[in-house]
Structure formats: C-alpha cells, structure tokens
Structure 1
Amino acid sequence: EVFVPLVHRAGEAQFDVGEAMVRFARRNFLVPAPEVDDLEQLNARLLKACGNDLRRKLRGKAATKQALLAEEQQAFLPLPDVPFEACRHESTTTNPHYSQAWRKESGRSVEIAW
C-alpha cells in the first residue's frame, strides 16, 4: 500500500512530538519563571540556554544534538524564493451569546469585542 491510514480510538490520547518539545522548553527554560527586565534580556537568556542544550547528548545517541542537527541539515530542502503566508484570511460570523466564531463545523472562542 502507498498510504496506510493511522486510526486512533475515540478518547485515546494522541501524543504529539511538537507538544513534547513545548513541554520540554517550558520545563527547562521557563520554570521557574525567569526574572528579566525586558524581552531582549529574556531572548538572550533563552539563546544561551538553547546553545547549551545543543551541546547535550540525547539518550541512546552517540553524538551531541548539535552534531545530529548538522547531519540532518544536509538533507534540508532550500527555502522557496517567494515567502509563504501560513494563514488563511476568511470571513465568518460570531455567536454573541457564546462568544464563538465558526469555521466549517468547528467553533472557536473569541473575545467579546470581536
């Protein structure tokens, strides 16, 4: 088969690598909340912490994260010449009683001012 569908059972938690990365970053870089004077100071602190993290070896891997990234970058495709706008601009209606905007069959909470 060219395509094998992956089916999740209803109610089964779906693990997402992106969510795990966000949890890792929060736990390791933002808890406890850093005390900084401005965003520039926070960004500098995060840049340093991420640089330190690149020198770490992952469990089960012989190389550092930095070496593994350099190896993987060789397979990267070039960026397109034209910028990609990663969003859709659509008009919708809102339900003022529930503060929801609807897109297709999915309701999203919105600020009352909208």
Structure 2
Amino acid sequence: MEKGDKEIRTSYLTSIDVWFAAMKSFTVLSLLESLAVLALIKRSRAMTKNAERAANEFERCTFESEAYRLNRLYHRVDSISRFSSPVVFIAFFVYYVLFIAQGSENCVEI
C-alpha cells in the first residue's frame, strides 16, 4: 500500500492484513491436505505391490487389507476437505465482509 512515493506504515492490524493472513492460511492448509493425500496414495500403492510379491497367503491378505484401509482413508480425507474447505472459506468471507471490512468494533470486544 503506497500513497505516492511514501509508504504507509501502521503499528496496528488492518483488515487487509487479516485477509492476507487468512488467504495464506487457506493456501498452506490446502497444500498440507494435498501432501497428506498423496502420501497415503503412495503408501496404498506400495502395499498393493507388496501384496503381489508376498511370500504366503497370510502376508498377501495383510498387505491387501492395509492397502484397502489406506485407500478408504485418503478418499475420506479428500472428501471431507472438499466439503469443509469451501464451507470454512465462505464462513470466513461472510465474517470478514460483515465485521472486519466494515470496521465494526463489536466483534473485537473480548
């Protein structure tokens, strides 16, 4: 934020600071969720490959059940985040527009 050649500095939190912090948080959380899902997919595929090379039937069943569990887990994590991420963002956006961007003093009282 600049005004002419002079930079405007404030010693307090402005509404644009809150917006940028929230957007950075949403970005980092989305990245972490993606990395977690990708790690679970990789482990699930590794378990499937181990099941193909298993020495006996018990080992093969163990690897297959672990691959199935991981498969269900990453699908569940992905579907939960696909629903919750937009809902949380919309809730934050409504809160931001109604209270923070308007400069209402009511939401800041502790």
* TM-score interval for Structure 1 and Structure 2 normalised by the shorter chain: under 0.3
Whichever structure has more strand as a proportion of its residues is 1
Which has more radius of gyration? 2
- Say which structure, 1 or 2, has more relative contact order (CA 8 Å, 6+ apart): 2
TM-score relative to the length of structure 2: 0.25
TM-score relative to the length of structure 1: 0.25
Whichever structure has more helix as a proportion of its residues is 2
